[in-house]
Chains A and B, each alone.
Chain A
Amino acid sequence: MLIDSNAYVGHWPFRQLKDNTCKGLLERMKKYDIDASVVSNLNGVFYKNTQHANEELYEEIRSNKQFDGRFIPFAVINPIYNGWKDDLEICSTKMGMKGIRLHPLYHGYELSNPFCIELVKMARDKGMVVALSLRLVDPRPSSWLDVEKEWALKDILPIIKAVPDAKYLILNVCNSTALDADEQAVFKNVDLIMDTSGRNTADLGNLLVRFGKEKFAFGTHAPLLDYRTGLLRVESLRENEADAKTKDLLRSGNIKRLLKI
């Protein structure tokens, strides 16, 4: 079984995306034998009121019976925009969202912001996974209107330290994974998974040793990134790096456990 831990629908304002609807994503999933996808709406990165993006995703998933059971929706929540607690409640209880996506670099707050911490605690209490992407796109070729800042892995430590008993999904690990011993221990002790879409998961065999085989899951970051590189990092692992059981954890086992599905 293959579950993509990191997929999107919606638009990116500076570049045309392909297959960026549930229908387009499902066609890709069928083509490449992917059973289910964790999905959120990119429009929520840019809407000030992110709840519109969640409503769009909810309605789109409901619109076609073919989508049944194929999408695991995550809500985009902005904790510094009024009404976010209502939004979270609706997304959790009415829309069946399994997790939340935070976009602090685009929404303009720090991970140490008290409202962010409160949101993550509320998500934790609802059993929802908290997902963060170290960056959404490579800022070098993006627009002059785009944000330039991106994160290294250690930059997410403030929220992990503040709410260590939440469940985290760290996406597009594109920059340094360097951590000192204390930071490494924090990561080890948190229920956290990194997806394989980011360029700095190139040395996945060693990362499995360093962080543990339960800490990674296949993800594409599509359609922003190509649809095959994230899986290639998993499938090209040699037997001495990942046995069949470990590969199954990476393909779907770990993300199923994190999401309790």
Chain B
Amino acid sequence: MAGLISRRKFMAGTVASTVGIATTTHLAGRAYSGTEISSPAKPKREPLMEEVMRYKKIDAHAHVGGGHGTPAEVADFAERLGIHKVMISKPMAPGSAGVPSEFRACNDVIYSAMKEFPNRFTGMLTLNPTHKQESMDEIKRCIDRGFVGMKLYNHVKINDPLFYPIIEKFIDLKMIILMHSPIGKARVKYNAREPKNISIPEDFVDAAKRFPEAMFQFAHIGGGIDWEDACKALKDSPNVYVDVSGSNNEGNMIDFALRYIGEDRLLFGCDNGFYQGVGGMIAANLTEVQRKKIFFENYNNILKKSGRNVD
């Protein structure tokens, strides 16, 4: 019987051996025990806030009011994180009638914030092309007040013929058209709460091809869309810029966007997710040249076309 072991002993041995563990080989001395690093390592890297503040920044996508924070709150975030210029807008509520009084009121809120923080905020107007003449009048009213572009939500698709005269107007103005983008596509189709007029990446591709002189901005790849799918769709649309804003600061998102969109068409933005916007940019594997372009220069070059550049 000497060669036999009991079932109990056999099972005990099996549990240990199947995971390759002898009783003396646990992680003590391998995993962190609190004794190996007895004093703080001497910092080698530039402190994070110095790195953050070193870059001049234009936030290409921000809002004030309507649950996005007061102008003072947004300006405070910008100051905290060294965002020199914030492109603010107040789109009409999704599902609203989108009548002229509504878009004028939204633009008045923005104008008020611009006056309150003239060095920090620059306005993006909103409108509804269903109301053609009122929209054209509103463009003039806002441009005269210092607005430099347009931000739209989902009342009309970006490639709807209703938009054509508005797009042509913005070609003349040499200003950018920022259009909201959807969430989802995760479950084969876009999120059920999205309205039928939401502009999907393929709509941007279509509008950009029809109006090659126009400048479009695809909103927030961190805003809940499948960003890999969106970037692949927009790869060959040279007049569509892509902003990297949104609350969903997934790892590798900007690196991936760089691969498909390129360093000249990506725009830094937060969509009021200020930490994710700045943190994602600092985390991304970018060269110094690329980071400066995306943080500031690309948007400033857009503004230069209408003579509204920051410097």
Query: Contact residues of A with B, CB < 8 Å?
Result: 1, 15-18, 31-33, 35-36, 51, 55, 58-59, 61-62, 67-73, 86, 90, 93-98, 137-144, 146, 199, 202, 222-233, 235-236, 238, 256, 260-261
Contact = CB atoms under 8 A, between A and B. Distances in A.
Interface stretch (B37-45, B54-62, B142-150, B294-302): B37-45
Decide if the interface of chain A is mainly helix, strand, loop or mixed. loop
21 contacts: A17-B252, A33-B41, A35-B41, A69-B32, A69-B36, A72-B31, A90-B15, A138-B247, A140-B186, A141-B183, A141-B185, A141-B186, A202-B274, A229-B275, A229-B276, A230-B279, A232-B81, A232-B275, A236-B81, A260-B34, A261-B32
B20 A55 contact: yes
A224 B251 contact: yes
A63 to B, nearest CB: 10
Interface residues of B, number: 59
A-B pairs, 6 with minimum CB distance: A229-B279, A96-B27, A69-B36, A261-B34, A140-B224, A144-B187
Given A68-B36, A140-B184, A143-B186, A223 B251 contact: yes
Interface string B207-232: 00000000000000000111110000
Given A68-B29, A72-B31, A236 B49 contact: yes
Contact of B27 (A15, A62, A138, A222): A62
B279 A69 contact: no
A202 B275 contact: yes
Given A228-B282, A236-B49, 12 more contacts: A18-B251, A55-B19, A67-B30, A73-B27, A90-B15, A95-B19, A138-B248, A199-B273, A202-B273, A222-B251, A228-B283, A232-B48
A231 B48 contact: yes
Contacts of A226: 249-251, 253, 276, 279-280, 283-284
Contacts of B16: 94
